[in-house]
Amino acid sequence: MAANQKALELPVKIQRFNLQQRFQHAGMAISVLMLIITGFPIKYAAQDWAQYAVNLFGGFENMFHVHLAFGVIMILCALYHVIWLAYSFVTSRNKERKPVTYSPTDAFTKISHEYNRGPDIAMMPSYKDVRDAIQHIQYLLGLRPDPPQFDRYTWLEKFEYFAVIWGVIVMGFSGIMLWFPQLFVFWPRWALDVGRVVHTNEAFVAMLALVVGHFFAAHFSPKVFPTSRVWWDGTINREHLKEEHPLEYDRLVQEYKAKGMLVPDGEGHSPFSQSLPLMVVELIIYVAIFILLLWTFIPMLLV
């Protein structure tokens, strides 16, 4: 029994996303990044750098075909996600939860917990998210001593997920409209012109959300710098989960304890980078980006 005790501990790495979800994320990530690379030179054709980007692809026609191809891939990824969601909900409705399994000999992954059971309704927004958002901002401003207790997805993560859904619908629809204007002349042509304004400006909205918001959470936050591991092998550190998703962590601990397993109390040990220079440099960079964006877009809004 004593020999097996270690095997029954809550593992260091906890599975957060399964292979299916990571493949879907990869498809989305690659297509969106390629769409940004091949689309922004067209939006900013008047700028000198646009021609350099076009030359990288050996001409406008090549670059544009790459753009169209990845547009199709992005839409297919989104459709696949919807089908996968529907299929998973239907098939998992009457299924028992998978048992907690752990192989002590599996030194390669150390992933023990069959934690992820595919899609669940944890992503759905709720009243708690509004409260969390207010309390989180109060906490960041120093108006509250403690941060709100987040569950599997924080309010920011839910915001990002639904922003992607909005973005794919808007970009996909306006993109198809611009690709095949001859099929959309049941609308007046100025509606196609509006479609171009929508496509090019939502592109900027999405790029900003991705490069500023999402990249900070997944790459540039000193907590995960240079990158979070969760999009690659789907795992998150136990301590990291405890800190960022305490409610989910507590449920996990209870589940483990109910099965008679051990949960180490790793209090006081930080899984995060503590590099002060990195934090300060990032602070300077993000303040500069903030000022630059406000400086650029407030006058545009007021003109």
Partner 1 sequence: MWTKNAGHLTAYLITGLFVLVFVAFTFSGLFFLLYLAGQAAAAQPAGDEACLSCHSQPNLKTTRGEREISLYVDPQVMENSVHAQIACTSCHTGTQAFPHQKPVYGAELAREVTANCSQCHAQAGQDYQASIHGKLAAAGTAGTAYCSDCHGTHDIQPQDNPQALHNRANVVANCSRCHQGGVMEAYQWSFHGSANKLGYERAANCADCHTAHQILPASDPASSTHPDNLPARCVACHGGEPVANWAAGIEHTTIRDREKGFPLWITWKIFLLLIMVDIIKDLPIIILDLIKQIRGRRKGHGIQAGRTR
| Distances, alpha carbon 125 to alpha carbons 36, 132, 245, in Å | 28, 11, 16
Q: How far apart are the C-alpha atoms of 94 and 27, rounded to whole Å?
A: 30
In terms of CB distance, is 120 or 193 closer to partner 1? Answer: 193
Phi and psi for 95 in degrees, rounded to 5?
-95, 145
Minimum Å distance from CB 94 to partner 1? Answer: 36
Minimum Å distance from CB 87 to partner 1? Answer: 32
In terms of CB distance, is 73 or 205 closer to partner 1? Answer: 205
Minimum Å distance from CB 113 to partner 1? Answer: 20
| Distances, alpha carbon 207 to alpha carbons 43, 158, 240, in Å | 13, 17, 27
In terms of CB distance, is 111 or 136 closer to partner 1? Answer: 136
Minimum Å distance from CB 1 to partner 1? Answer: 31
Identify which of 228, 194, 185, 215 has the alpha carbon closest to the alpha carbon of residue 286.
Answer: 215
Identify which of 201, 202, 193, 200 has the alpha carbon closest to the alpha carbon of residue 170.
Answer: 202
Minimum Å distance from CB 142 to partner 1? Answer: 9
Structure tokens at 247: 């409610």
Minimum Å distance from CB 143 to partner 1? Answer: 11
In terms of CB distance, is 27 or 147 closer to partner 1? Answer: 147
In terms of CB distance, is 148 or 234 closer to partner 1? Answer: 148
Q: How far apart are the C-alpha atoms of 175 and 173, rounded to whole Å?
A: 5
In terms of CB distance, is 172 or 222 closer to partner 1? Answer: 222
The angle formed by the CA atoms of residues 89, 235 and 71, to the nearest 5 degrees, is: 60
Minimum Å distance from CB 10 to partner 1? Answer: 15
In terms of CB distance, is 83 or 280 closer to partner 1? Answer: 280
201 within 8 A of 300, measured Cβ to Cβ: no
**H/E element, 14:** strand 13-15
